[in-house]
Each structure stands twice: as C-alpha cells, then as structure tokens.
Structure 1
C-alpha cells in the first residue's frame, strides 16, 4: 500500500487532503467534547449547589426548632426532580436529621463529609452547609445523576456523522484538486516523455492557469527552448570539431608529402642545384607545419588564460611594416597589388609589438589567400578619436552574410568544400581577435557578401603619449669566435633528432657527445665534462628536470650552460625549467640559429 501511494502523486494528494481533514476534525471534536464535558460538569455542580442552597434555607427553621417532620416534608418535594437520587439533612453534630431517596440504587452516607462536591461513578455528590444568622447549624446532602457517558456517546455519534460528511466533501475537493493541479503536471510529464522519445525540443506544454502551475509550465517551456538551443550549439560544435580534425589531418599531410619527396630527391640526386631546391622545399613546408602548431598552441594559451603579452608603448605603423614584410612573399606569389596608407602623424598604443604584428600578418595572409590572383589589398592605419584603427580590405571572395556572425569562432570555415583553393585550420581569426582583446581593443569584420570582398578593422586604444626612444641593444659579447669549438652534450631519447643535431653541430666545428637517456647523459657528463648540454624534458626513467639537478651537482656543473630542447613549451614548463637550474628553453622544432646563438653567448639566462 505504501509503495502504491509513493508512486502516485494523485494518491499522495488525496492522502494529504483526507489526512488534513481527519486531523482537523479530530482536534476540533476532541476540543469541543472536552469543553462540553467541562461545561456539563460545571452546570451540574452549579444546579445542584443552587438546589442545596434552597433546601438549606428552607430547612434551617426545622433544624433550629428540632422539627424533623417539617424537614422531611421539605425533602419530599424533591420527587419532582427525578435527576436527584437522594437527599439528607444532618445536624451540626453529624446526626442524620431527615432523608429522602428515589430508587434502590440510592444510598445516604451515615455521616456528612466536608462541604464540597465529588463525582462517584455516575453520581454527583454534594455537601452544603446550613447557616442561621451566619452560624452553621447543619449540612445538606444531595446525590444526583451524572450521565457523562451518555453525553459522550451522543457526541461520538455526532462526530462520526460529521466526519463521514467531511470525508465525502474532502473526496470531492480532492477530485477537483486533482483535475486542477494534476492535469497540467501530467501534461508537462507527457510532453517531457515525447521530447525524450522524439528528441524534438520544439514541443511545448499548454499553459492553462496563471498561478504557480502556470509559472512551472512557463519555466518548463523555457527550459525546453534553452535545451534545444544548446543541443543545436553542441551539434554545430561537434560538426566543426569533426571538420577541424579532418582539416588538421589534411593540413599536416600536405607539407609532409613534399618533405617526403624532397628527402627522396636528396637521396637520389647528386646535382647540387636540385638538392638545394629540395632543401628549400623542406624548409618551407616545415615552417608551415610549425606555424600551424604555433597557432593552435596560442589559441589554447589564450583560452586558458596562460598567454601573456609584454605591454609597452609601441608605434603602430612600424609594426604594420614588419607584418607586411612577413607576408610580402605570399602577396607577390599571388600577384596581388598591395596599397599602403600609413600617412599621418605617428600613432602609439600600449601593446606587445610581436603579438600585434602577428595579428596584422594574419589579416594580410587571409586577404592574400582569399583574393583571386591579381587582386587588390588595401592596408591603412589612422587615428579615430581616441583609437588607432588599422584596416585590411580586399576585393576577394567576400563572406556570406550567414557566415559573417561566426567568422571569429574557433574552427569556423567560410568555405567547407573539399576543392577549396585555400586551406586552413580556422583558428587564425579566433587567435587574432583574442590577441586584440588582450590589448583592450576590438577586431571587426565587414563584407557586402560573396564576391564583394572583405574588410577587417583592428581598433586599439591610443597611448597617452609617445614613448621614449629605446637604447639600441648592444651586440652580445663573444667568448670567442663563432668558429671556436665547444664541448656539447646532447641528451634525447629521440635518436633521430639527437644524431641529426649532432651532425649539424659537428659541421659547425664543435665536439659533440650523444646520450639516449638521462642516466646515460649523467654518466657521459662526468667523463666528457661538456661546456654546453642540450637536453630533452620528457625522457623515460630520469626526466630532463632530474637530469639538470644531477648535472648541477657534478664538479664543474655550475659552469655548464643547460638548454632544454623539448616539445613542452607552456609557461609552467619554462618555470619548472628555471627551478631545475636550466638556463635556456627552446621548443621543437628548433632553428639552428637558436642553437648557434646559445653556443656563442658567454652568459646564460632564460
């Protein structure tokens, strides 16, 4: 029974109504009965006390003149009061003076009790003093029927009838409440089941009242709308994720194919010009792969709040020129015409010159890629109010109005076709916008539609004043000539990387030793006593941080220049490297010039 009620809101509601009604009636009936019984008792006592007072006054002369006959006649008048069972008059010394009784069940006490009343079963007994001129001369005794059980039974019958009627009314109210309260809830539950079964979030529950149930229906419908919106957003995000993974695989395979071909050319050809072209191909494609990975890492750092910018007052036009130099080879290869408008007074902003150049180069790169050969690209820089505005405008393929609101979202691609001429991961504009936002600015996009070109505007808050001219950095002092031989230890479990780097360093005239693990590197350092150690971080057994601690404890270890060459390049990784005593931190793939610069430096600092 309990389980049946627990599984049904209807039965719970009926139980609540009936239980509430029952408790209310029970408390009310108990209170009324208790009050009535108390009133009945008090009324009986009061009536009997009045009758006793009358007898006391009437029988006082008979007691005073010792006339039992007159007292007996006074008591005989009680025959007209059938509720009085017995009566008696006692002298002051306690002797019975006169008595009266009706029925065999009546009994008269041999001696009077103390003035007052008491209940004896179904009888009410009362003793009342008789006074004459303020002096007590006797006592009146009365015994009357006290049928409280009959009165209680009558009340219980009445309560039973009232409760039966109340239960009937409660059932009617419960049925009405079920229709008023439960029907909307059941409709909401039915809609919820349909939504789960059909995955159709456009379904809505019908609102029929303006009370709390109506508010519940409104909230339920709003929840369905929000869930439907998020479902669509998740589907779109999932679709973009799938497209991104496919694009990433495509973009990484594209440079790998020419790299593989160039390697075969190097193996098969002895012609120096052919080998040179093969090396150039490999360098271009490797740069492309590095750029793809760097873009992804930058977006990840910005998203997690781990990308910092070094703010200082910088001149925007010079940053724009640096960006143009970066993208110039692509613009020239596409045969585009670049129009620069950098006239006007110098404009300064608080920003990171490297990151801002990355933003402008990204916008120029997009304009070059999405503009047909021989197109026009216009780049302008000016001041509008308190902002510096840099615009990149092209007459290329343009942006579909349906795509324009999402063009800055992660992995967004305006052209998703397999035969699109320009590939990409769809993270460039996301990265550019977030870099601009880190500078307190905004990146906006406009387009009249497909075939009508695009315009991107970078708006940055202008700096209060121009910066002081920085002192030109002095060239690093050399410990010796670039060709001076160094003792170099390479520790990396990737043997292809370490042997290829060793070959390059030997070609530069350095003495090189290679170790394939941290433990082997530590033993080699004790014997070889290197001046420079290039070590990987993620090695099995002893990692790079532990190796660095071990190297520093060796005799002469403090003088070694330690450089981490690793794929771990986040800020926390660099911090751990510093704490381990590593002087420099390079991320793979590493440029030979970076290695050479470290070897030629006399002081080590991260």
Structure 2
C-alpha cells in the first residue's frame, strides 16, 4: 500500500496541473483564434483578388476577348500563393486560364458546383456582375498553408509549456512551506463547515503569526458569508417577484399598443377607401350626367332630322296650296320611306343599348360555323359596299367553329363591316381577316382604308353615345353601335379592340372562344400569283414584284392594290426560304419583305439576298408592323431600300414602288461600264 501524499506534494501537483491546464487552454485558444483569423484573412484576400480580376476582365467577357482576360490573369504571378486561376463565361465554359510554373493539375473545362477547399488547396469562386447582369465567374486556387502554420504553432506551444511548467515547479517548491502550514491548521474546521454548511463554526487561533491572521481572516470570512447568505436569499426572492410583475406589466402594455395601432391603421384604411369610393362615385355620377345630357341632345337632333323630312313631305302631299305632280309625289313618298327606315334604325339601336345596359339581353351560346355566318354578312354588306365602290375581301375559314350566340355574332360583324364601309374612302377596301391566336381562341379583324382615328378618338371610342369621332361629319348614326357591339362581345366571353393610324385606316378585331380550330391553308403551289391581273400593256412586259408575307389577309390587300395597275405583276411567298428560292429563280425587279416571318426573319432573308450575286442588286422594301423608331432605324441599318409600316398607306406604298422603278430605269439608262465585284455590290 502506497503511503498517502503530503499536502505539500498535493499542492504542488494541483498548482502544476492547474498551470498546465491554463497554459494548454490559453495556447489552444490563441492558436485556434490566430488560425481562424489567418484562414479568414486568406479567404478574404483571395475573394478581393477574385473580385479585382473579375472587374478587370468584365470588358474582355463583354467583347469576347480571351487574350485580354488571359493577360489580366497573368498579373497573378506576383502572388506566389495563387497556384491557378480561370475565367468562366455566363454558361460556365472556360474562357481564359492561368497556372503557376510548377502547377501540373489542369483547369476544369466546365464550372459546376460550389467551391470546395481541401487540406492542400483553397478554392474561391467569384461572380462577375456588370450592370446587374452576370457575365461570368472568376476561379482562384491557392496554396493552403494552414497545416504548416499549425505545426509551427504546436512547436512553439510545446516549448512555452515546458518553460512555464519548469518555472512554476521551482516557485512552488520554495513557497510551499509558507503556504501549507496555516492551511493544515484550518483544514479540519474548513472540512466541517463545508460538510455541514454551518457558517457559525469558527477555527481556533493557534499562533500569532501569519497563520493566526489566516485563522482570523478565515473566521471573518465565515461571518461575512453567513450574513451575505441570508441577505442574498431575501434579496433573490424579492427580485424574482418584482421581475415577474414587471414582465407581466410590459407584456400587457405591448399588447394594448399593438391593438391600438391596429385599430388606427384599420380606421385610416377604411377612411381612405371610403374617400376614394366617394370620389369615384362623384366622378362617375358627373360623367353619367354629362353623358346623359350629350345623349339627349344627340337623340333630339337625330330623331328630329328624319321626323322633319317625314312631316315636311307629308304636309306637302296633303296640302292643297302646294300642288305636286305624280313624279314629285313618288319622290316625296320615297323620302318619307327612307326617313322612316332611318328613324326605325335609331329606335332599334336605342332599344338594344337599353337592353344591354339593363342586363336583360339573353344569349343562346352554341357552336357556330364561322363560314356560314360570314357568308350571311357578305350577302348583306356587299350591296352597300358596291354603292360606294368599296371592295370587301373575305377570308377562307375552313372548319372554324366559335362559341357564340348566332344572332348576336352576326349583329356584331354587320356593325363592324358597315362602319368600315361607311367611314371608308371612295373606292377603298375592307379586308376581313381570321387567324388562330391560341389553342382555343380565334381572332376576327376588320381592316379598312378610311381616314383613321387619332389616339384621343381611340381612347373614347367605346364610350356610350360617342359617334366614332364624327360628331361634325355627314354620316348618319347615333354613335352607340360600337357600344352595343362591345357589350355583346363581352357577354359572349370575348374581347374587342382597335388599332388605327390617321390617314391610313383602322383595324377592329374581336376574339372568341373556339371549339374547332382554324384549319391550315393547303398550299396551291410554290408560287401564288395575284388574282385578276390586268392584261399586259402593249409597250412591254409588266414589272415583276415579289412579296414575302405569311399573313393571308395582308397578302390579299396588296394583291388588290396591285390588281389595279397593269404595269405590275405580283409573286408571293409564305416564308423566307420560299422567298429566297423565288428571288433566285425569277429575279424580280422589287422585293416586298415582311420582317416577322416563320423560320427565318426578314432581316436574315435580306442578308442572304445581298450575299448572293444573283440577287444582291434587287431593291428590297420592308413592309412590316414593327413601327417603333428603333425598329425603323434597325431596318434602315440592315440595308432596306425603303421602310414602310402597317397599316398600309396606299399613296405612300404606290410612291415607294414608283420611285424604286424610276431609280431602276435611270440605272439601266446610264452608260454601262465594266466594274469590279466590289463596285457592283456597292451599287
């Protein structure tokens, strides 16, 4: 059995163990903190370097200049710790790379995943962002010196620990005798006090030296602890009670404040909504009163006009003082009949509007064959159009079926077509188009060549009692037909809209649900020639024009315009590939080009025409609905001879054709010289 150790040896062991533990903890914390700071500093330095490289190479990515990017990466050779670097584009493909001389590992060709660092390398990815757009990613791989630094710290820590433990041991051997003597004297009392927690015990004073003072201090400490323990127990109880009460009071105050703020916000929002609704109601009432006043004034004028003719001619017929011949009586009766029919039309329109506005209109929704309805409207509209010399062009709608009320759909189409004829120019044209705009939607459009409407007139077009901007004109009507049309289209679950250009014409369109989509048109052959081409003039062959257009309605309109000119002959192509083939085979004098073509854009077709020696000198005129200024500038820059926008201005279209033909005649009349390929292309 080993003898028990003395208090002195135990004190030495305790102090040495404590010192060792404190040293180990302190050194470990210092080393960990320093290594962590070093790691962060290294990563921050690499991130900063990557951001700098990304900023320097953003221009290279923008202008696709790998050489400039590689030169920027080569600047990293001043950073020996950077072993490799690379620039990846926005798709993650390798754009440029850099490797240190002694670096053998290749760079990945494709960037994927998140950066992963290991024991030997630190890897950093940094996105290159310019004006909110990600241009690419910077990849940096640097040498990880954390392990070497850790080994160095461990070596230093071992030396410091050994030195400190040696110094502590020497000090404890010298001071142990002084410290242990009084401790042994009071050990028993202290053991009893700790065991019983009886702070009233006191240690006996055994000497008058420092050991005695130690005993006195120990006893005083016990006395103080005893008093403080009682005070602490009392104070802790009071503090816990006050804290609980204060917490409950704070929670109640916060709850009341939240309720008050919520109520204030709700009342404020309710007041704002009520004010807004009141303002809207006042404005709607004012607008309604103004509209009613305008309606009554318009109706008074429109009803009095036919009544004036009816009553006036009736008085002449019944007057004995104003004798009239039989022919005059027939003429007066015709005037009365015409005015009576016009009056009946006005009354019917007013009744239709009243039914629609009151919600008493009943619809019978059913699948309606579009071809039958268009044929019925054609029979009724063509006589009216023929009286004004207006051509009405109808599309082929094989198999198309819409979900609508048959009678109301016919009323809507008749209203749009009659307006297109009424407000058209003399000898103008009306083109009715039909296209599939969605899997279950069909759009019907009515395009005229009338005077058109400005933006202000279009904005107020579907307002009640508005006469299509013709209040001061000579056309008869109440101005409520379009209002009824809009309401009927909406009741049938459709949409209606209009686009118009002053001096060019207007396009009214409606969209309806379909139960059978529009069947595609079967091509008749590689070349679609214009119908009803006039006989060729005796002085020579007509000028050949090629029109590349995929919209049948637009193609039909140009065919009708060209049909009245005996000096022109029109070929057509539905897409860019067919247009290129026809241009190379027939060598037309002018090519009309739509820009939004299926498969190949009009600009791409123009580029291929200019690249082919057979077609490089043919003038190409853009005829497109892209009417924004930037679109026009882009078309002119692409090389179009002229840029015309839809809807077609017939006068401007004719002028473009004539001026282009005149330029061709002038070029043919000039003396021919043998020029090189570059000069011929410039022409």
Pick the TM interval, shorter chain: 0.3 to 0.5
- The higher radius of gyration belongs to 1
State the TM-score, normalized to the length of structure 2. Answer: 0.34
Q: Give the alignment's TM-score, normalised by structure 1.
A: 0.38
